[in-house]
Structure 1
Amino acid sequence: MTRALKGSGFLGLAVMMVVGLHQFVILSGGSAVPPWMIGGHAHLGVLSILAVVMGFAVPALEVTGTLRTAVTALFVAGQWGIPGIVWLGEGFGLTFLMPTGFLWGGALIVSMLIMFYYSVTEPANAAGGGSSSFAPGDD
Protein backbone atom coordinates (compact mmCIF):
# COMPACT_ATOMS: atom_id res chain seq x y z
CA MET A 1 0.00 0.00 0.00
CA THR A 2 2.79 2.46 0.67
CA ARG A 3 4.05 1.84 -2.85
CA ALA A 4 0.78 3.32 -4.04
CA LEU A 5 1.36 6.46 -1.97
CA LYS A 6 4.99 6.86 -3.02
CA GLY A 7 4.23 6.03 -6.66
CA SER A 8 1.30 8.42 -6.76
CA GLY A 9 3.48 11.08 -5.18
CA PHE A 10 6.27 10.75 -7.70
CA LEU A 11 3.83 10.54 -10.62
CA GLY A 12 2.08 13.64 -9.31
CA LEU A 13 5.38 15.48 -9.11
CA ALA A 14 6.17 14.52 -12.71
CA VAL A 15 2.74 15.72 -13.89
CA MET A 16 3.15 18.92 -11.87
CA MET A 17 6.52 19.53 -13.56
CA VAL A 18 5.01 19.01 -17.02
CA VAL A 19 2.28 21.51 -16.16
CA GLY A 20 4.97 23.89 -14.92
CA LEU A 21 6.82 23.62 -18.23
CA HIS A 22 3.55 24.23 -20.06
CA GLN A 23 3.05 27.36 -17.97
CA PHE A 24 6.55 28.48 -18.92
CA VAL A 25 5.69 28.04 -22.60
CA ILE A 26 2.55 30.14 -22.12
CA LEU A 27 4.56 32.88 -20.40
CA SER A 28 7.29 32.71 -23.05
CA GLY A 29 4.65 33.34 -25.67
CA GLY A 30 3.68 36.57 -23.98
CA SER A 31 0.41 35.37 -22.48
CA ALA A 32 -0.69 35.16 -18.87
CA VAL A 33 -1.08 31.77 -17.21
CA PRO A 34 -4.71 31.22 -16.17
CA PRO A 35 -5.19 31.24 -12.38
CA TRP A 36 -6.93 27.83 -12.46
CA MET A 37 -3.81 26.30 -13.99
CA ILE A 38 -1.58 27.82 -11.33
CA GLY A 39 -3.87 26.67 -8.53
CA GLY A 40 -4.05 23.08 -9.75
CA HIS A 41 -0.29 23.03 -10.29
CA ALA A 42 0.42 24.22 -6.75
CA HIS A 43 -2.04 21.84 -5.12
CA LEU A 44 -0.76 18.83 -7.05
CA GLY A 45 2.82 19.70 -6.13
CA VAL A 46 2.21 20.03 -2.40
CA LEU A 47 -0.10 17.01 -2.18
CA SER A 48 2.35 14.89 -4.17
CA ILE A 49 5.18 15.73 -1.79
CA LEU A 50 2.88 14.79 1.08
CA ALA A 51 2.03 11.50 -0.66
CA VAL A 52 5.71 10.57 -0.72
CA VAL A 53 6.05 11.52 2.96
CA MET A 54 2.91 9.53 3.77
CA GLY A 55 4.46 6.53 2.03
CA PHE A 56 7.12 6.55 4.74
CA ALA A 57 4.92 7.69 7.64
CA VAL A 58 2.28 4.96 7.29
CA PRO A 59 4.67 2.06 7.97
CA ALA A 60 6.67 4.10 10.50
CA LEU A 61 3.53 4.62 12.57
CA GLU A 62 2.55 0.98 12.02
CA VAL A 63 -0.83 1.76 10.45
CA THR A 64 -2.20 -1.63 9.41
CA GLY A 65 -5.22 -3.39 7.99
CA THR A 66 -8.32 -1.56 6.91
CA LEU A 67 -7.11 1.77 8.25
CA ARG A 68 -3.92 1.48 6.19
CA THR A 69 -6.02 0.85 3.09
CA ALA A 70 -8.31 3.75 4.00
CA VAL A 71 -5.42 6.18 4.54
CA THR A 72 -3.89 5.23 1.20
CA ALA A 73 -7.09 5.29 -0.85
CA LEU A 74 -8.43 8.47 0.71
CA PHE A 75 -5.16 10.33 0.36
CA VAL A 76 -4.54 9.32 -3.27
CA ALA A 77 -8.14 10.21 -4.17
CA GLY A 78 -7.74 13.64 -2.60
CA GLN A 79 -4.28 14.17 -4.06
CA TRP A 80 -5.63 13.85 -7.60
CA GLY A 81 -9.20 15.00 -6.97
CA ILE A 82 -8.39 18.50 -5.70
CA PRO A 83 -6.23 19.63 -8.64
CA GLY A 84 -8.32 17.55 -11.03
CA ILE A 85 -11.54 19.41 -10.30
CA VAL A 86 -9.77 22.75 -10.53
CA TRP A 87 -8.41 21.85 -13.96
CA LEU A 88 -11.59 20.18 -15.20
CA GLY A 89 -14.06 22.51 -13.53
CA GLU A 90 -12.47 25.84 -14.30
CA GLY A 91 -10.15 24.95 -17.15
CA PHE A 92 -12.53 22.86 -19.19
CA GLY A 93 -15.76 24.53 -18.11
CA LEU A 94 -17.11 21.52 -16.20
CA THR A 95 -18.16 23.67 -13.27
CA PHE A 96 -20.73 21.12 -12.14
CA LEU A 97 -17.74 19.13 -10.80
CA MET A 98 -16.62 21.91 -8.47
CA PRO A 99 -18.78 20.82 -5.48
CA THR A 100 -16.88 17.51 -5.44
CA GLY A 101 -14.03 19.51 -3.94
CA PHE A 102 -15.72 18.90 -0.59
CA LEU A 103 -15.51 15.14 -1.24
CA TRP A 104 -11.81 15.24 -2.17
CA GLY A 105 -10.97 17.63 0.64
CA GLY A 106 -12.91 15.46 3.08
CA ALA A 107 -10.97 12.41 1.93
CA LEU A 108 -7.70 14.19 2.69
CA ILE A 109 -8.96 15.33 6.09
CA VAL A 110 -10.09 11.83 7.11
CA SER A 111 -6.75 10.41 5.98
CA MET A 112 -4.90 12.99 8.08
CA LEU A 113 -7.11 12.38 11.12
CA ILE A 114 -6.33 8.65 10.98
CA MET A 115 -2.63 9.50 10.83
CA PHE A 116 -3.09 11.96 13.70
CA TYR A 117 -4.69 9.21 15.78
CA TYR A 118 -1.79 6.86 15.13
CA SER A 119 0.78 9.57 15.79
CA VAL A 120 -0.59 10.34 19.26
CA THR A 121 -1.45 6.78 20.35
CA GLU A 122 1.73 4.96 19.32
CA PRO A 123 4.21 4.20 22.09
CA ALA A 124 6.99 6.77 22.49
CA ASN A 125 9.64 4.35 21.18
CA ALA A 126 7.76 3.65 17.92
CA ALA A 127 8.95 5.38 14.75
CA GLY A 128 11.90 7.07 16.44
CA GLY A 129 9.72 8.93 18.91
CA GLY A 130 11.76 7.99 21.98
CA SER A 131 14.82 9.60 23.47
CA SER A 132 18.06 9.37 21.56
CA SER A 133 21.47 8.26 22.80
CA PHE A 134 23.35 10.60 20.45
CA ALA A 135 23.44 14.35 20.06
CA PRO A 136 22.52 15.88 16.71
CA GLY A 137 25.55 16.98 14.69
CA ASP A 138 24.17 20.42 13.89
CA ASP A 139 23.72 21.78 17.41
Structure 2
Amino acid sequence: MTKALKASGFLGLAVMMAVGLHQFVMLSGGNAVPPWMIGGHAHLGVLSILAIVMGFAVPALEVTGTLRTVVTILFIAGQWGIPGIVWLGEGFGLLFLMPTGFLWGGALIISMLIMLYATLSQETTTQSGPTGTAPADD
Protein backbone atom coordinates (compact mmCIF):
# COMPACT_ATOMS: atom_id res chain seq x y z
CA MET A 1 0.00 0.00 0.00
CA THR A 2 2.78 2.48 0.69
CA LYS A 3 4.00 1.86 -2.84
CA ALA A 4 0.62 3.17 -4.04
CA LEU A 5 1.02 6.35 -1.97
CA LYS A 6 4.53 6.99 -3.29
CA ALA A 7 3.56 6.21 -6.89
CA SER A 8 0.49 8.46 -6.66
CA GLY A 9 2.68 11.20 -5.24
CA PHE A 10 5.24 11.01 -8.03
CA LEU A 11 2.53 10.77 -10.71
CA GLY A 12 0.79 13.77 -9.16
CA LEU A 13 4.02 15.78 -9.25
CA ALA A 14 4.54 14.87 -12.91
CA VAL A 15 0.98 15.97 -13.77
CA MET A 16 1.41 19.14 -11.71
CA MET A 17 4.64 19.94 -13.57
CA ALA A 18 2.98 19.36 -16.94
CA VAL A 19 0.18 21.74 -15.94
CA GLY A 20 2.82 24.24 -14.81
CA LEU A 21 4.49 24.05 -18.22
CA HIS A 22 1.11 24.59 -19.88
CA GLN A 23 0.61 27.66 -17.69
CA PHE A 24 4.04 28.94 -18.75
CA VAL A 25 3.12 28.51 -22.43
CA MET A 26 -0.11 30.42 -21.81
CA LEU A 27 1.76 33.25 -20.09
CA SER A 28 4.45 33.43 -22.77
CA GLY A 29 1.72 33.72 -25.38
CA GLY A 30 0.38 36.79 -23.61
CA ASN A 31 -2.63 35.05 -22.08
CA ALA A 32 -3.64 35.06 -18.44
CA VAL A 33 -3.76 31.79 -16.55
CA PRO A 34 -7.24 31.19 -15.12
CA PRO A 35 -7.39 31.10 -11.31
CA TRP A 36 -8.98 27.63 -11.32
CA MET A 37 -5.96 26.24 -13.16
CA ILE A 38 -3.56 27.81 -10.67
CA GLY A 39 -5.56 26.51 -7.70
CA GLY A 40 -5.68 22.93 -8.98
CA HIS A 41 -1.98 23.07 -9.83
CA ALA A 42 -1.04 24.21 -6.31
CA HIS A 43 -3.28 21.70 -4.53
CA LEU A 44 -2.05 18.77 -6.61
CA GLY A 45 1.58 19.77 -5.96
CA VAL A 46 1.25 20.01 -2.18
CA LEU A 47 -0.93 16.90 -1.84
CA SER A 48 1.45 14.90 -4.04
CA ILE A 49 4.41 15.81 -1.86
CA LEU A 50 2.36 14.76 1.17
CA ALA A 51 1.48 11.45 -0.55
CA ILE A 52 5.18 10.67 -0.85
CA VAL A 53 5.74 11.61 2.79
CA MET A 54 2.78 9.42 3.78
CA GLY A 55 4.37 6.54 1.86
CA PHE A 56 7.22 6.69 4.37
CA ALA A 57 5.20 7.69 7.45
CA VAL A 58 2.72 4.79 7.28
CA PRO A 59 5.35 2.05 7.73
CA ALA A 60 7.39 4.20 10.13
CA LEU A 61 4.38 4.46 12.43
CA GLU A 62 3.65 0.77 11.89
CA VAL A 63 0.13 1.37 10.55
CA THR A 64 -1.01 -2.06 9.41
CA GLY A 65 -4.03 -4.01 8.23
CA THR A 66 -7.32 -2.28 7.60
CA LEU A 67 -6.12 1.08 8.91
CA ARG A 68 -3.23 1.02 6.43
CA THR A 69 -5.63 0.30 3.57
CA VAL A 70 -8.10 2.97 4.68
CA VAL A 71 -5.38 5.62 5.07
CA THR A 72 -4.00 4.82 1.62
CA ILE A 73 -7.34 4.84 -0.20
CA LEU A 74 -8.67 7.95 1.52
CA PHE A 75 -5.48 9.94 1.01
CA ILE A 76 -5.14 9.06 -2.69
CA ALA A 77 -8.84 9.84 -3.25
CA GLY A 78 -8.40 13.26 -1.64
CA GLN A 79 -5.10 13.92 -3.38
CA TRP A 80 -6.75 13.62 -6.81
CA GLY A 81 -10.30 14.61 -5.86
CA ILE A 82 -9.53 18.12 -4.63
CA PRO A 83 -7.63 19.37 -7.70
CA GLY A 84 -9.85 17.26 -9.95
CA ILE A 85 -13.05 19.01 -8.96
CA VAL A 86 -11.40 22.41 -9.30
CA TRP A 87 -10.27 21.61 -12.84
CA LEU A 88 -13.46 19.81 -13.87
CA GLY A 89 -15.91 21.97 -11.93
CA GLU A 90 -14.54 25.42 -12.66
CA GLY A 91 -12.47 24.70 -15.75
CA PHE A 92 -14.97 22.60 -17.66
CA GLY A 93 -18.14 24.07 -16.21
CA LEU A 94 -19.18 20.94 -14.32
CA LEU A 95 -20.20 22.97 -11.29
CA PHE A 96 -22.38 20.18 -9.92
CA LEU A 97 -19.10 18.46 -8.91
CA MET A 98 -18.02 21.30 -6.61
CA PRO A 99 -19.93 20.11 -3.51
CA THR A 100 -17.94 16.85 -3.65
CA GLY A 101 -15.03 18.91 -2.34
CA PHE A 102 -16.39 18.15 1.13
CA LEU A 103 -16.10 14.42 0.37
CA TRP A 104 -12.48 14.68 -0.86
CA GLY A 105 -11.50 17.06 1.93
CA GLY A 106 -13.15 14.76 4.46
CA ALA A 107 -11.19 11.80 3.06
CA LEU A 108 -7.94 13.71 3.63
CA ILE A 109 -8.96 14.74 7.15
CA ILE A 110 -9.92 11.18 8.13
CA SER A 111 -6.62 9.81 6.82
CA MET A 112 -4.75 12.41 8.88
CA LEU A 113 -6.80 11.61 12.00
CA ILE A 114 -5.96 7.91 11.59
CA MET A 115 -2.29 8.87 11.36
CA LEU A 116 -2.72 11.00 14.50
CA TYR A 117 -4.21 7.99 16.26
CA ALA A 118 -1.28 5.83 15.10
CA THR A 119 1.16 8.43 16.38
CA LEU A 120 -0.47 8.81 19.78
CA SER A 121 -1.11 5.11 20.36
CA GLN A 122 2.37 3.98 19.39
CA GLU A 123 4.52 2.75 22.24
CA THR A 124 7.47 5.03 22.85
CA THR A 125 10.80 3.33 23.20
CA THR A 126 14.18 4.86 23.59
CA GLN A 127 16.64 3.53 21.07
CA SER A 128 20.06 4.74 20.22
CA GLY A 129 21.60 4.19 16.83
CA PRO A 130 20.16 2.38 13.84
CA THR A 131 17.14 0.18 14.43
CA GLY A 132 18.24 -2.58 12.08
CA THR A 133 16.75 -3.11 8.68
CA ALA A 134 14.48 -0.63 6.98
CA PRO A 135 10.81 -1.64 6.67
CA ALA A 136 10.06 -3.31 3.36
CA ASP A 137 7.59 -1.78 0.94
CA ASP A 138 4.46 -3.73 0.13
Normalised to the residue count of structure 2, the TM-score between the two structures is 0.91
For 2:58 and 2:65, locate their aligned partners in 1 and report how far apart those are by CA, in whole Å: 11
Q: Which residue of structure 2 lines up, in the alignment, with residue 38 of structure 1?
A: 38
Residues 106-125 of structure 1: pairs in structure 2 closer than 5 A: 106-125=106-125
How far does residue 123 in structure 1 lie from its aligned partner after superposition? 1.3
Moved over 2 A (4+): 130-133
Q: What root-mean-square deviation, in Å, do the aligned CA atoms of Structure 1 and Structure 2 show?
A: 1.0
- 1:97 alignment counterpart: 97
* Structure 2 portions without partners, runs of 5+: 130-138
Structure 1 residue 132: Cα displacement: 4.7
Q: Which residue is equivalent to 1:12?
A: 12
How far does residue 124 in structure 1 lie from its aligned partner after superposition? 1.6
Q: Given residue 38 of structure 2, which amino acid in structure 1 is its aligned partner?
A: I
Q: Percent identity?
A: 82
CA deviation profile, 1:50-103 (whole Å, cap 9, x unmatched)? 000000000000001101000000000000000000000000000000000000
**Residue 120 of structure 1: how far off its partner (Å):** 1.1
Counterparts of 1:34 and 1:52, CA distance in 2: 28
SS in 2 for 1:66: helix
**Structure 1: runs of 5+ lacking an equivalent:** 134-139
Distance 1:78 1:10 in 2: 15
| Alpha-carbon distance between aligned partners in 2 of 1:100 and 1:17, rounded to the nearest angstrom | 25
1:100-138 C-alpha deviation (Å, 9 max, x unpaired): 00000000000000000001111123xxxx4656xxxxx
Structure 1 distance, partners of 2:13, 2:122, is: 31
Give the letter aligned to residue 47 of structure 1.
L
- State the one-letter code of the partner of 1:26: M
